[in-house]
């Protein structure tokens, strides 16, 4: 659906994809019925110094992509979303279950006082549903986590079960478990991952991992890349037990799958989803040292379909989204290729080829489309944002020095060092605003007056419903804004000595 002024805009070329096989469709349906719910690769060269993939198919303007979707979606359209003081009024069709938030000025915050005051050593918060998880380390490195009710600020439990570490790095709240990750211990070159029970704060398990290991959570399984013993390991989320292992002799790169639904909830400044639904696609792609891609089931570690050689190197930029594997190769001219996860060995589609002396980066799923940045002559002041796929933009949008792309429904935020530019669903560029804009859901955003920092400062905040004017909400007073997290009704932050929960809806 076009918005005002879009009637004469040309239609973007669409990419043809074969209808993907979804071996999880039955399992997903059962889960829903049961109430279930972030080195250069040189392919074969051809004369002239550029490269191609044998059998790859170029996308054409006439092709209509029959993408298979788990749900029917109504796409955000109408007025271009502009982060501004005035926006042209127009009818807006929102994603299912999404409506403009009725923002109100920030209420007096609920304060949550931990038994030990918050320090500058480490402070973090997570909001999940009507619960906030609040963490801080004391001067000795002992981490204390508080669970609080966001409706009244009452403390549900407080735990020091994570114990002590030289430094702490991050916290991640899941429906049943709170995961805590320490920083590296210089004496042992290891760090720790600790799981607390979300119901009572008791420690479920504690695993020491290498400084270069990665941990990727799913609905029931945590994927651990064990570099020391050269394994991929599936760890039970509830008990820490090893469920499966796969040999990994050459330090594979791991990419978990995401879906459209994962882009519809609150997200951080760099786009990390605060509440992804890990149950909707529990596949991941392993890229090993000989450039082979293998699709695996996160819960069993077993390969799903045949592996495909000569796909990508471990350092290539890759996105796995909505049943597709997108690969940006490193050889010149840079190209983005797309593979069907269910039919990995079939010929890929060439999504985009960069002009000579241009680079491609920031591959980001945005709705059913793929967004990315093309930089001409490696001059970042000439960055251009593309959106390709169904209802892709007819032309790229010029946004200089893009640091991150964050999808907001069918729109996308182009985040710079000190500014954010919102590009509407049709590819129209909104005003560039100072500060940081983040996603609340597929149709609403928050804007902070400045970058987020660990220092204790004030931050003015605006609420931005899709297609409407920004609503001044007031100030977050004396907060460590880098610790803040949010959902569609509250913002919670670490303050100087305690925690605060601000509400911006009635």
pLDDT digits (tens, 9 = 90+) for 302-361: 999 999 999 999 999 999 999 999 999 888 899 999 999 999 999 999 999 999 999 999
343 and 448 inside one domain: no
Say yes or no: 49 and 93 in one domain.
no
Query: 344 and 374: one domain?
Result: no
Residue at 182 is within a domain: no
Q: Measured between alpha carbons, how far is 257 from 136 in angstroms, rounded to an integer?
A: 31
User: Over 50: is that where the pLDDT of 181 sits?
Assistant: yes
Q: How far apart are CA 364 and CA 390, in angstroms?
A: 15
User: What mean pLDDT is predicted for residues 264-272?
Assistant: 91
User: Do residues 93 and 227 share a domain?
Assistant: no
- Residue 339 forms part of a structural domain: yes
Instruction: Write the pLDDT tens digit of every residue in 129-146.
Output: 999 999 999 999 999 999
Of the residues 299, 333, 352, which one is the last residue of a structural domain?
352
Residue 76 phi, psi dihedral angles, 5° rounding: -60, 130
436: Cβ contacts below 8 Å, ≥ 6 apart: 269, 415, 420, 447, 448, 450, 451, 452
Asked if pLDDT for residue 65 goes beyond 60, the answer is no
Please state the φ and ψ torsions of residue 260, each to the nearest 5 degrees: -60, -40
Last residue of a domain, one of 325, 352, 379: 352
- Cis ω on the peptide bond leading into residue 333 (within 30° of 0)? yes
Task: Compute the mean pLDDT over every residue in the chain, rounded to the nearest whole number.
Answer: 84
Whether residues 87 and 4 share a domain: the answer is yes
Of 334, 352, 370, which marks where a domain is finished?
A: 352
- Please check whether residues 304 and 371 belong to one and the same domain: no
Q: Tell me, what's the pLDDT at 59?
A: 52
List, for residues 356-380, the tens digit of each pLDDT value.
999 999 999 998 899 999 999 989 9
Residue 459 has pLDDT above 60, yes or no: yes
Same domain, residue pair 347 and 369:
no
Q: pLDDT by residue (tens digit) across 422-436? A: 999 899 999 899 999
466 confidence band (pLDDT: 50, 70, 90): confident
pLDDT, greater one: 172 or 69: 172
Give bridge partners of residue 157 from the DSSP assignment. Answer: 147
Tell me, yes or no, whether 302 and 232 share the same domain: yes
Q: Is residue 448 part of a domain?
A: yes
Report pLDDT digits (tens) over 383-424. Answer: 999 999 888 999 999 999 999 999 998 889 999 999 999 999
Percentage of the residues of the chain whose pLDDT score is greater than 90: 72
My answer on whether 365 and 485 are in the same domain is: yes
**Residue 396 covered by a domain:** yes
Q: Does a structural domain hold residue 200?
A: no
Q: Which two tokens stand for residue 461?
A: 């905040």
Same domain, 275 and 304: yes
Residue 415 tokens read as 């985040």
Verify that 310 and 372 share a domain, yes or no: no
Q: Is residue 114 part of a domain?
A: no
DSSP 325-381: EEEE-SSSSPEEEEEEGGGTTSPPEEEEEPPTTEEEEEEEEETTEEEEEEEETT-GG
* Full DSSP string of 288-301: -TTS-EEEEETTT-
* Predicted local confidence at residue 54, as pLDDT: 38
Provide the domain count of the chain.
Answer: 2
Distance CA 390, CA 411 (A): 13
Residues 378, 474 share a domain: yes
Q: Which of 189, 222, 192 is nearest to 208 (CA)?
A: 192
Higher local confidence (pLDDT), 155 or 29: 155
CA distances from 449 to 92, 244, 452, 481 (A): 27, 47, 9, 11
Is 331 a member of any domain? Answer: yes
Give me the domain span that covers residue 270.
Answer: 17-58+212-352
Confidence of residue 94 (pLDDT cuts 50, 70, 90): low
At 102 the pLDDT is: 95
Question: Does 490 have pLDDT greater than 50?
Answer: yes
Distance of CA 203 to the CA centre of its chain: 27
How would residue 276 be classed by pLDDT, with cut points 50, 70 and 90? Answer: confident
Q: Residue 281 belongs to a domain with what CATH number?
A: 2.40.128.630
Answer whether residue 140 is part of any domain: no
């Amino acid at each position: 659906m076009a918005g005002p002024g879009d009637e004469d805009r040309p239609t973007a070329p669409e990419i043809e994809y074969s209808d993907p096989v979804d071996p999880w469709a039955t399992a997903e349906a059962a889960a829903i019925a049961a109430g279930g719910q972030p080195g250069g690769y040189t392919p074969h060269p051809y004369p002239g110094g550029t490269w191609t993939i044998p059998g790859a198919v170029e996308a054409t303007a006439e092709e209509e992509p029959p993408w298979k979707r788990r749900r029917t979606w109504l796409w955000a359209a109408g007025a271009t979303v502009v982060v501004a003081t005035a926006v042209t009024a127009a009818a807006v069709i929102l994603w299912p279950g999404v409506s403009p938030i009725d923002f109100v000025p920030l209420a007096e915050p609920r304060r949550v006082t931990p038994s030990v005051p918050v320090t500058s050593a480490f402070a973090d918060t997570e909001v999940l549903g009507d619960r906030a998880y609040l963490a801080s380390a004391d001067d000795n490195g002992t981490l204390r986590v508080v669970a609080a009710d966001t409706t009244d600020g009452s403390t549900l439990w407080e735990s020091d079960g994570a114990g002590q570490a030289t430094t702490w790095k991050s916290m991640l709240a899941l429906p049943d478990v709170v995961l805590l990750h320490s920083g590296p211990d210089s004496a042992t070159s290891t760090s720790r991952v600790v799981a607390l029970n979300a119901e009572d704060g008791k420690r479920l398990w504690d695993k020491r991992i290498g400084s270069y290991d990665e941990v990727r959570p799913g609905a029931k399984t945590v994927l651990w890349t064990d570099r020391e013993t050269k394994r991929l390991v599936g760890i039970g989320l509830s008990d820490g037990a090893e469920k499966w292992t796969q040999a990994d002799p050459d330090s594979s790169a791991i990419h978990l799958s995401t879906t459209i639904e994962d882009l519809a909830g609150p997200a951080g400044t760099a786009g990390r989803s605060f509440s992804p639904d890990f149950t909707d696609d529990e596949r991941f792609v392993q890229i090993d040292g000989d450039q082979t891609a293998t699709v695996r089931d996160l819960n069993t570690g077993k390969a799903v379909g045949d592996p495909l050689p000569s796909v990508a190197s471990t350092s290539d930029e890759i996105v796995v989204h909505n049943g597709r594997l997108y690969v940006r190769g490193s050889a010149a001219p840079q190209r983005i290729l797309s593979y069907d996860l269910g039919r990995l060995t079939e010929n890929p589609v060439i999504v985009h080829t960069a002009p000579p002396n241009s680079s491609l980066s920031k591959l980001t799923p945005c709705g059913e489309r793929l967004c990315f940045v093309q930089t001409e002559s490696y001059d970042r002041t000439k960055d251009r944002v593309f959106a390709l796929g169904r209802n892709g933009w007819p032309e790229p949008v010029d946004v200089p020095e893009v640091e991150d792309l964050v999808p907001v429904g069918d729109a996308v935020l182009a985040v710079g060092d000190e500014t954010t530019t919102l590009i509407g669903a049709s590819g129209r560029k909104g005003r560039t605003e100072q500060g940081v804009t983040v996603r609340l859901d597929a149709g609403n955003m928050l804007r902070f007056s400045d970058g987020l920092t660990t220092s204790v400062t004030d931050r003015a905040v605006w609420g931005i419903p899709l297609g409407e004017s920004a609503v001044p909400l007031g100030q977050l007073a004396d907060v460590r804004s880098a610790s803040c997290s949010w959902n569609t009704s509250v913002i919670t932050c670490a303050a100087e000595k305690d925690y605060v929960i601000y509400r911006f809806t009635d």
